Amino acid sequence: MAKIKVMDEILANKIAAGEVVEKCASVVKELVENSIDAGSDEIKIELVEAGTKQIRITDNGSGMDKEDAILAFSRHATSKLKTEDDLYRIETLGFRGEALASIASVSKITLKTSTGNVGTTVQINGGKIISVTNSEARTGTVISVDDLFYNTPARLKHLKSLYTELSNITDYVNKMALSHPEIKFILSNNGNVILNTDGSDNLLKTISSIFGIDIVKKMLAISAEDNDYTINGYITLPEVTRSNRNSIITLVNGRVVRNADINRIINDSYHGYKPDNRYPIVVLKIEVDPTLIDVNIHPTKMDIKFSKLEELLTLIEKTIRISLKNQLLIPHIEVEEPIVNDFFDNTIQPLNEKNERPQYEEITLDLSRIGEENVEYKKSEDNKVIKNEDLDNPLFDIVESTEKLPELYPVGLVHGTYIICQNEKGMYLIDQHAAKERINYEYYREKLGNPKPDSIAMLIPLTIEFPNNEYMILKENFDLLEKMGFSIEEFGVHSIIIKEHPTWIPIGNEDKAIRMIIDLVINKEKNFSLAKFNEHVAATVSCKASIKANENITLEEMENLINDLRKCKNPFNCPHGRPTIVYYSKYDLEKLFKRSGF
């Protein structure tokens, strides 16, 4: 007797549901994508108990006739792929034909749909069609998914808390609203509206609906293109960051995607402008010919493969760097007032090279109408699309800001850490450790980037012993240390002896600096980059060689520090992204002491 049998269709759908329907957000994702593919410009998502009891989605798309409404719940039934060639040029969000069948197999579904003539209502429980009847002729589709996982208790048991499920759904709908600002999205839970966009096709206004007006005021528009890719969107100034990568949102041809390489390059583009453990808010839309991407690698369709990925990463990195390099501003200092008066500007503004309050021309906001639903946002007319030829232009090379500090006159030191300076414009606070760290960093980076055979013999050679695994790694990289100017030899079983070191090693900290550099060599990344290694060495050594907090220095030393800082290519941030200087204008000081008039 044959042991192999064709699996029952409902059982097969339940198995497929294990991949397609992971949680409540998976159901919302699949149904919303169907609504978008149907041409909807208004989608309403209503949840009961975070979707565990009911998910109801209403759209005004093209709808379905009776025959299609029934067939849609069959496995691998789709209107989006007709031939094998279509698989290599996917232009819709859905295409696999598995979602509805999988969802129906683990829930109770009521579908009402119409193309404008007689409507159809289909009721399904656990994958079995219970009834098919006529209904009202409203164009579009209403689909209700009730009691998700009611017939698969193991899956139901492992759903997260209601707050977690609701958070996942909200996160997804937010990203879809950003991907399609031309569609009005309404999301509610137990009757409480969570998100309501206006569908005006204004991306900045949609960002405001999700992140708030304060974030929008600190965003820069970016736009660039090459022969294969077009990118555009908004990025925050370096002062606005989050503790995780969730606010780096990438959208490809209207699809929310996850790509570790893109997230990494976006974050790397901010290197030196912010702390490495903080992440910017980015909404990046990528348009590409469908033949250059493959979305058919996972049932969720969120993972994606790119052809010419390196070209895309270069385009993204250069575009963000170009946008940021002229925006290195001294961070805002918030001033809180007990009485809010429109006459006052509640924020101490950053400094630009002319010592004036800068205008972020990428975004124009009607601030007098904040809080109204019809606040208008627009891109500046000066916002230019960066083209491929621009990226190859030497003028657009990735360099640090050429802005310089204004003349500053030190007057004192607070807590042995913060230098107080003044000029006719206002007051400045300089973190002496961060400032010296920036000065040292640029000095060491220059030395490492232009190595010379200058070295100095150690009075007492340094001997270091290592565990056998670390010693093998170090031995393999002797040439790297020798290029830096070290004279290094094997000494014993798992030991080395260093007889000479580069002249730029800080005097008095030779032992500590050498050991740190060797640790960096041992722990270098798999995808080793000499430039990044040199940068890491420079940042590490500069930190240890800098003035420490609570270390009093003289007025003359303060002046020398400020003069050296002014010569830096980027005087506004330490190598780890922390600010070196903050600014209070004269007006801000008067406002703090209530000396400014009404």
Task: Read off the pLDDT of residues 521-561 as tens digits, 9 standing for 90 and up.
Answer: 887 655 556 666 777 677 777 776 666 667 788 999 999 99
293 near 283, Cβ under 8 Å?
Answer: no
Kindly state the tokens that stand for 546. 């800098």
Task: Inform me whether the pLDDT recorded for 373 exceeds 50.
Answer: no
Q: For the domain covering 9-195, report its CATH number.
A: 3.30.565.10
Q: What is the model's pLDDT at position 574?
A: 85
Which range among 56-65, 250-259, 375-384, 464-473 has the greatest average pLDDT?
A: 56-65
Q: Which residue has the tokens 């991949």?
A: 19
Cα diameter, the chain: 97
pLDDT digits (tens, 9 = 90+) for 473-529: 888 888 888 887 888 888 877 888 888 888 777 777 777 788 878 887 887 655 556
Mean residue pLDDT across the chain:
78
What is the pLDDT, as a whole number, of residue 379?
40
What tens digit of pLDDT does each residue of 379-406 get? 433 445 655 555 555 444 444 444 567 8
Asked if 220 and 235 count as a contact pair (C-beta separation under 8 A), the reply is yes
> Does the predicted TM-score (pTM) go above 0.75?
no
pLDDT at residue 410 is higher than 90: yes
Q: Which of 378, 238, 240 is nearest to 321 (CA)?
A: 238
202-403 has CATH 3.30.230.10 classification? yes
pLDDT reported for residue 40: 93
Domains 9-195 and 202-403 share a fold: no
Contacts of 246 (CB under 8 A, 6+ apart): 171
Report the distance separating Cα 303 and Cα 256, nearest Å. 9
User: What would be the CATH architecture of the domain defined by 404-598?
Assistant: 2-Layer Sandwich (3.30)
DSSP state, residue 88 = G
pLDDT in tens, 300-351: 556 677 888 899 999 999 999 888 876 655 664 655 554 444 433 443 344 4
Distance between CA atoms of 27 and 48, rounded to whole angstroms? 14
Compute CA distances 341 → 110, 223, 262, 365, 574, whole Å: 53, 37, 43, 19, 36
Nearest to 86 by CA among 96, 75, 76, 71: 96
Taking residue 124's Cβ as centre, other Cβ atoms within 10 Å add up to: 23
Q: Rounded to 5 degrees, what angle do the CA atoms 68, 184, 58 make?
A: 35
- pLDDT for 443 equals 83
Instruction: For 245-273, write each residue's pLDDT tens digit.
Output: 889 999 988 888 888 899 999 998 888 78
SS3 state of residue 173: helix
> Of how many residues is the chain composed?
598
> Domain residues of the chain, as ranges?
9-195, 202-403, 404-598
Q: How is residue 75 written in tokens?
A: 């496995």
Q: What is the DSSP letter of 258?
A: B
Number of helices (H), then strands (E), in the chain: 18, 28
Instruction: Select the more confidently predicted residue: 293 or 35.
Output: 35
**Among residues 483, 469, 577, which one has the least CA distance to residue 522?**
469
pLDDT at 133 over 80: yes
Cβ-in-10-Å burial (0-12, 13-18, 19+) of 285 comes to buried
Mean pLDDT, rounded, for 220-233: 92
Candidates 66, 283, 309, 73; CA nearest to 177 is 283
Supply the pLDDT for residue 72. Answer: 83
Decide if 250 contacts 284 (C-beta within 8 A).
yes
